[in-house]
Each structure stands twice: as C-alpha cells, then as structure tokens.
Amino acid sequence: MTLAPPSLDREADAILRGDHTDPFGYLGPHATGSGFVVRAFLPDAIGLELIDPATDQTLASAHPVSGSGGLFVVPLETRPPVQYRLRAAWRDSSVEFVDPYQFGPWLGEIDLYLLREGTHFETYRRFGAHCITLDGIAGVVFCVWAPNAKRVSVVGDFNFWDGRRHVMRLHPGAGIWELFIPGLGEGVRYKYEIKDRTGTTLPLKADPVAYAAERSPATASRVAKIDHHRWQDGAWMAGRVGQNLYTRPMTIYEAHLGSWRRRPEEGNRVLTYRELSETLVPYVKEMGFTHLELLPITEHPFDGSWGYQPTGLYAPTSRYGNPTDFQFFVDVCHRAGIGLLLDWVPGHFPNDAHGLAEFDGTHLYEHADPRQGLHRDWNTLIYNYGRTEVAEFLLNSALHWLDHYHIDGLRVDAVASMLYLDYSRQPGEWVPNRLGGNENLEAVAFLKRLNEICFGRFPGITTVAEESTAWPQVSRPTYNGGLGFGFKWNMGWMHDTLDYMALDPIHRSHHHEQLTFGLLYAFNENFVLPLSHDEVVHGKRSILGRMPGDRWQRFANLRAYYTFMYGHPGKKLLFMGNEFAQENEWNHDQSLDWHLLSDPLHQGVSALVRDINRLYRQLPALHELDHERDGFEWIDASDRAASVLSFQRNSRTAGAHIVVVVNFTPVVRHGYRIGVPSGGPYREILNSDDRRYGGSGVLNAGMLTPDALPWHGRSHSLALTLPPLAAVFLAPAED
C-alpha cells in the first residue's frame, strides 16, 4: 500500500505538545478511506515497525511524520491484528511493546452510572492502579478523577516521566481518565501529570487511590497487588459477625508503630510490619488488651504529623513494609485474638503539592472559600463533603480498609472539626449553612452514611468517634437521629479526672465533682475512656508526670487512677507507655523507655495493668453493662471530706457484682464502712496498694463478712481498711 508522506497537521501537533484531549481518537488503529493506519508517538525514536503477534514477523514499517521527532504512521491495507506489537528503534537501542492505544475502555457503563450516582461502593477496585489481564495481555490499568483537567498522563520510570507518552482516555461527563499500559507490573513508580483547563502543567500528583507509595520523603505512588496474602483468620472473621461489642470487654492499646520500639543498634531504625507481628502483637496479648489501635498508618509525607495529615488514604505507609506485610500483621493480630482498630482521618488533608490540593488545577477535593476549606489550626484543607465524588472517595477508603485488610474498626479523627462550620474560627471567619446555623450539614450527612454503609456491609466491625463536644447521639443509630458511630471517646471524663489527679491530695476535697460529674452523662453515649497520645505530648507531660507528691506517691496515684478507670463504666484505652508509667513525654522519633521496666515501681504498674486487664475481661460486672444504667450504682459519691468514692458494678446475672472503693488521699483509713447489697462474704480481688505493684501492702485479707448494719441504703455493710492513694475491688466470695 502506498501512502503520501504524512505531514504535521493540527492534531499531530497537539500530540507532540501533549495537549491532545482525545489521544485514542488519533493514536492507535484507525480506518481510512483506503485502508487502515496505526499511529504512535515515541519521542526521539528513529524507526517503528508493526509486529504480527502470531508470527513475530514485521507486517509493516512506519513512516515518520516530518518534523515531529517521534510521531509515526503505519499504513495497512487491512485492519491490524488484535494485540499487535510495535518495535521502536532509537540510535542505541530498540524496544518491543504492545500498543496501549489499541484497547477499549476499562470502565463500563454500569461503573460510570454508579459513580455519577454516588452508589459505587467498590471504587477502590476501579480507581488507582491495578494489575490486570486485558484481552489476554498483562499490564496495569490506571484510573483517576480529574474533571477540570485539559489533559492527564501517567508518568513514571517506564516512560522517562514524559507526560506526552501516555496520555489518558477521558470519559466525558464523568471527569474520569483511564489508560491500560501493557507490560507494566508490581512495584512500578508512577504519578499523574495534569494540565489544567488553561493548559498549565501542574506539579506531578500522587495517585489519590494508590495502594502503595514510595518511602518518605519520596512521594511517587507504586503499583501494588493486594491479593498475595493468604488469610488464616477465618475463625476470627466468622466469630466477630455475631458478637455484641457493647457487652463484651474492650480494652484498647493505642500504639504508634514508628516509636513503640526501635533498633538503636541499627541506626535507630523502625520495626517492620512483620517484626511488629513478632513483638508488638505478643506483647499486647500478654498485657491482656483485647484490641490494638494504630495511629494512622495511611501514607503521609511528614513523620511529625504522626499520620494525621495523610496524602494516601488507601495505602499502608511504606515506612514499615508493603501492603502484603501489613495484611500479615493484621492476620497475626486476629490469630492471637486481638482486634485491630485503625485511626482514620477524613477531616482534613495537607496542602503538599503532590497531594490532593488543587488536584486538577481547581479546588476539587477541598472548598474554594478558605472560610470553609482551610483548617486554621493545622494549616490543612477541609474536604468538600457535599460533593458526591469527594464523599465517595472518603467512604470507599473506609470500605477498602475493612475489605482488603480485615480491619475491625475505624477510629475517626477530629469529628468535632467536621461537625461545626465555626470550629476554631472567630465571627466572620466561617460561612453559615443554608439554615443559618453552624452545623456542617454535608459532613453530618457523610458521617451518617459512612456508618450506615460500613456497618451494613461489614457486620461485626465498629466505628469510634473522637468527638470532643456535646453533639447529641454521636453513638446512637441514624434511624433515631444519631450519627451512627459504635462508640465515642469520653473527652470530658478524661479532662476532668486528669485535672483532679494533678491536684495535691489536700486540695482534692474541693474538686470532688470532677470525679462524679461524668456519671451524670456516662450512659448518654457508648463511651470509651481514653488516655491517649494527645495527653502525653506538647508539654502536657506523661500521665505519671501529672501525678503529685514524692516518687512513691506519684506511682500510688497512678495505680489508683488506673484502677478507678477500669472500675468506671466505659471501654478502656491506654496509649503505649502508659501501661508501665513512661516518665517522659512521648517522642515519635525514638523508642519508648523500655529500660524503665528494670525499676520495681514501673514493673509494679505493668503488673497492675496486666492483672486488671485480666479481671476486666473475666468479670462480666466490669464490662457487660458498660453502657447501661443498670450496670452502675453509687454506694457513696458524697464523701468529699475523705476524698473517697465507692460504687458498685453489676452484670446481667442477678447478684453478680463488683464493689469498687477508691481512696484519693495518702491516709490509711481504718474501719471505713460502706454498704453492700447482701450478707454473704466478700473477697478483695484487687488492691492497687499490693506490694507486688509497688504499694505499701495495706490489704483486706481473707474473707470479709458483712455486718447486718444498714448503711448507704443497703441492708448490710463492711468495715474496710482503705489503703493510701489506692483502689480496691471486692467481689462476693462465691463469685
């Protein structure tokens, strides 16, 4: 077939400049009036041949477009064979490859319909980069949302980061760009080169839905497969479906993987996911915790953000390994009987140039108005929850972790900042909602939908809100007007009790209500009592560091506080290091101070936490009715003069209960009488003043027989010896 020498026309010029908005309309195979042509653009190539895949023979040689520097046209009399290959030659090398511009679309009409409607609950299987086989050819398909872009290209090592080489196909009306590139596979580094609507090339963007990323401070995305791991947690996954977390024990160990333990002999390096599965998981189990909660392991550029400013909401950070390694870690947790909660951050994102900020040259993910889109506290950007595609992006991130990584629950960060338009803003710095109020109605709708869909699609999981205000019904069902979370952190209890414990005991009688006030609202929500990472940084001191008195008194105060916490209604959370009384504030750049465990007082706190976790799990009265009023009764809440509290925890079994008495002064109180509900004998089952915990050994030994003396509105009473700065648990002897 003869063909006139091709010339550089308008379309060809657009291809050369990387400005063509429909590369599939020009490149690849096309019918002409006299046959067919295959067009390809290979910058700086000097020759091109079309190869028959069946015979490996050259079917035709290409004609270069004059003055194009790499644009070729292959003339053919008949349609080119399916899956034809191209062989390109440069001055010092040649490459053979399958032409990506011969393949049809990756997304189907149903995908596009559901995406536009906002009901595609597996977009994480469509967006991002996926290793697939298309028409018998292995490669990677890339898919990204950038509706206001003039052009989007995939760039990486495979194409010299040249945005002209792999321009993507646009789905008009959906704003979605896609491209299948044959021959690529796992591990490939890539980004998106985007030209905005004016034709300006933006900074290279990481993939918002990447499954993996380069190790920080590098910022490229990586192609990853997440189906290598063979899960062995079937029994755990089946068992969690029917469980009622509200009536089960939940004692959570919150950890930052990068600083739990390091290898100082190896340059202070962090442990990997697999190393942590051999060290952290057995430790959590040994200490008696039921759940492990991780500070965000979603990919983030800055170590000092602790993960709370993520740029990759779908990728486990590469700091500790790859996605398969993290799946292995989750599996080990489950096989050890440990549930795994993940801190998840849908409230804001950083303004790094490679991230979501002005992703396609417009305020795509964030609000354009800084009164709505700028988080002043952290200099971060706020998601536009009212935009369907943004809400779907966030929702599918949550579903992705629950699906691909078997996560047992999501602790949603900074919920208060999402709920209020005037959060941390002065008058004039925020925009009221359509009703004139300060509620972020779009964020409220998003959170309700998030909880409905997560609980509906993954029975047995939970969600936890870090919500610091009095917003009503955070952990109540959406059908009753709630936000639908499973649990809410009790920030009020945490602040009140920590403030109380910081007081010298001589002043505590004047602040008694700080211990009792929390019981006025303890059952309004499904509360978790958190002593979290936020309470041991930024000059707040460690939990031990807040305790007053000499060294012995500080440890005694801490032991009393922890025992009071475990007796109080609500699930429990301790940040790493709290369990052995870390002296210093948490430093994310170094290990916890494990050497402290050579000190008897630190050993004592560790032993107490281990024992109290065991009791909390074993005794239904300490956990079964954590969120019901029937599970708690005051014995005496009013003894402010002695700074003593006494109360009773109940289970569903009639008569099964635990009596808790706490003495918040350094005075031993002999013959301290409390009312009890029956005349049967009691035993002291825990005393934080026990010598094995570092205490002074003031115990109530043996059987404790109540007197038939009414007290505190009960038919019988016990005369106890209250140890100094200590708490005791008493149980009916038959239990």
Catalytic center residues: 413, 466
CB atoms within 10 A of CB 640: 16
Residue at token pair 């993996």: 212
Q: How far apart are CA 430 and CA 438, in angstroms?
A: 9
Residue 9, classified by CB atoms within 10 Å of its CB into exposed (0-12), middle (13-18) or buried (19+), is exposed
Rounded to 5°, angle at Cα 547 from 500 and 593: 135
Tokens of 542: 């460690």
CB atoms within 10 A of CB 536: 23
Q: How far apart are CA 316 and CA 318, in angstroms?
A: 6
Residue 578 DSSP symbol? G
216 φ, ψ to 5°? -55, 140
Residue 444, classified by CB atoms within 10 Å of its CB into exposed (0-12), middle (13-18) or buried (19+), is middle
Residue at token pair 């369907």: 388
Q: How far apart are CA 393 and CA 211, in angstroms?
A: 14
> Quick check: 691 and 646 in contact, CB under 8 A?
no
> Quick check: 127 and 120 in contact, CB under 8 A?
no
CB half-sphere exposure, 691, CA atoms < 13 A? 2
User: Which residues are within 8 A (CB) of 275 and not within 5 positions of it... i.e. 6 or more apart?
Assistant: none
> Quick check: 289 and 279 in contact, CB under 8 A?
no
Q: How far apart are CA 495 and CA 517, in angstroms?
A: 12
Q: How far apart are CA 679 and CA 295, in angstroms?
A: 48
Q: How far apart are CA 221 and CA 211, in angstroms?
A: 8
> Quick check: 576 and 624 in contact, CB under 8 A?
no
> Quick check: 498 and 508 in contact, CB under 8 A?
no
Task: Give the residue from 414, 380, 394 showing the smallest Cα distance to 209.
Answer: 394
Beta-bridge partner residues of 669: 722
Beta-bridge partner residues of 527: 488
Q: How far apart are CA 328 and CA 230, in angstroms?
A: 9
Tokens of 324: 């398969």
Round to the nearest angstrom and report the end-to-end CA distance of the chain: 96
Residue at token pair 């706190």: 605
CB atoms within 10 A of CB 564: 21
Task: Give the residue from 121, 122, 115 showing the smallest Cα distance to 147.
Answer: 115
DSSP calls for 61-76: EPEEPTT-SSEEEEEE
Ranges assigned E (strand) in 300-449? 312-316, 339-344, 374-375, 380-381, 409-412
For the four alpha carbons of 258, 261, 264 and 265, in that order, the dihedral sign comes to negative
> Quick check: 651 and 636 in contact, CB under 8 A?
no
Q: How far apart are CA 61 and CA 90, in angstroms?
A: 15
- Is the peptide bond preceding residue 100 cis, with omega within 30 degrees of 0? no
Residue at token pair 């959906």: 174
Residue 157 DSSP symbol? G
What's the 3-state SS for 407-461?
A: CCEEEECCHHHHHECCCCCCCCCCCCCCCCCCECHHHHHHHHHHHHHHHHHCCCC
